[in-house]
Structure 1
């Protein structure tokens, strides 16, 4: 009887180690085990969605920064991401923002710390170059609306441009119904740009884009 009691006590106080957690069996109640758990804090996971590593931007570009930080204990802590550049220093805090960078090869680091002081970080490289290229765009002003009626309220034009033919993400506004040209400046050298023009009436309504043209800067 004594031997069985000692064996039972040994089983109830057996120390088990599983992964990083330690389970201590302290007793039984109605056949169910009660366990206390102790484990280490996991560092948060952090990802940089934008900018992509090794992109090139010019010195006047507003670069979009976006990241995400998820922590097992704290949940979504993207609001506390700290962004910095090895050239420009501290950039901003938070999930996303836009900012220009000075010329140079920037190592961009996004770092985050959870409530238990566990940290993690990710980095990307961004090349910022001088923007001294330019392009002249010419067009013929329209004289009719899409329904073939005379166009009498033409106010100006918008010249859209960008490095992706599927996404012309910049534009310059040009006033004057008789204007037929625009100089687009601060373009990155050794890159291809795409251009298209929209007419704008006095109410600010834009026409469809013109045929697209391309130029290597």
Structure 2
């Protein structure tokens, strides 16, 4: 029986492009786009994408019970990949929308780029959009075949801060250094969009489909 990879559909992910990219690199796996909590719990691997406002994201997850499904997947030791707002939702708290408590899988905080300054004291332009280099913070199976400082595609106005270095798998610089990828045990999450990041992004998705944490 083929492995099932569930892409969480809660109305806020770029599901079409993420699903198509996963299908492109899948090797016999079934890519299932679903908002059904039981199907997500039953899947072998789970992708948690996201775009839009964090308040709406967390609100929908809690209303539908998908927040508990995500926690159950993590507790079961199944590989989970967070993408963009999906990564931010795994943090403890975001200052977006006047402050929102997130899922608390990680202890990090999500802060607004527009209140930050670069080395010259100028406020950063938001959103941070386009290609930028990711410096790998550790050796990890998800980086297999991907060069250090490879370029990935970003679109975001908020970034993750306050993470311990042993959980930051990748860094990016945009006026200041921020976490571009975080990991703990069976969870790996990225601020960039691998489905929009050409060969490096497809390699990362392929690594996820093979990852055995």
**For this structure pair, what is the TM-score category when the shorter chain's length is used for normalisation?**
under 0.3
**Larger RCO (alpha carbons 8 Å, 6+ apart):** 2
Q: Higher Cα Rg: structure 1 or 2? A: 1
- What's the TM-score, normalizing by structure 1? 0.26
Please identify which structure carries the higher helix content. Answer: 2
